[in-house]
Amino acid sequence: MARALVTGGTGFVGSWVARYLIKAGHEVVVMHRATSRQDLINDLAVEHAVATLDDIDALHMAVENIDWVFHVAAISAYWRNNRDHIYRVNVDGTRNLLLACESASVQRFIFTSSASAVGWREDRYPSDESTYFNVNPQLSPYAHSKFLAETEVHRAVQRGLDAVILNPAVVIGPGDMNQISGSLVIQVAQGKVPVMPLQGGVTYIDVRDVAASHVAAAEKGNTGEQYILGTVNMSHRAMLALIARIVGQPVPKIPIPAVAVDALATLADVGNRLNIPLPGDVEANQIRMSKRDIYFDCSKAWRELHEPEIDIYESLVDTYQWYAKNGYL
What domains are there in the chain, each with its CATH number?
3-170+205-229+295-310 (3.40.50.720)
Q: How far is CA 198 from CA 192, 202, 261, 268, in A?
A: 18, 13, 10, 19
**Whole-number average pLDDT of the chain:** 91
Three-state SS letters, 107-155: CEEEEECCHHHCCCCCCCCCECCCCCCCCCCCCCHHHHHHHHHHHHHHH
With a cut of 80, say whether residue 285 has pLDDT above it. Answer: no
With a cut of 90, say whether residue 283 has pLDDT above it. Answer: no
Tell me the C-alpha distance between 60 and 100, whole Å: 5
Position 199 scores a pLDDT of 86
Residues of the chain above pLDDT 90, percent: 76
With a cut of 60, say whether residue 280 has pLDDT above it. Answer: no
With a cut of 80, say whether residue 22 has pLDDT above it. Answer: yes
With a cut of 70, say whether residue 265 has pLDDT above it. Answer: no
b/e sequence 70-90, b meaning 16+ C-beta within 10 Å: bbbbbbbebbebeeeebbbbb
Position 268 scores a pLDDT of 66
**Stretch 92-97: mean pLDDT:** 98
**Stretch 236-258: mean pLDDT:** 90
Q: Grade residue 220 by pLDDT with cuts at 50, 70 and 90.
A: very high
Q: Grade residue 276 by pLDDT with cuts at 50, 70 and 90.
A: low
Does 224 or 122 have the greater pLDDT score? 224
With a cut of 90, say whether residue 116 has pLDDT above it. Answer: yes
With a cut of 70, say whether residue 227 has pLDDT above it. Answer: yes
Q: How far is CA 12 from CA 47, 73, 207, 266, in A?
A: 18, 10, 8, 31
Position 50 scores a pLDDT of 96
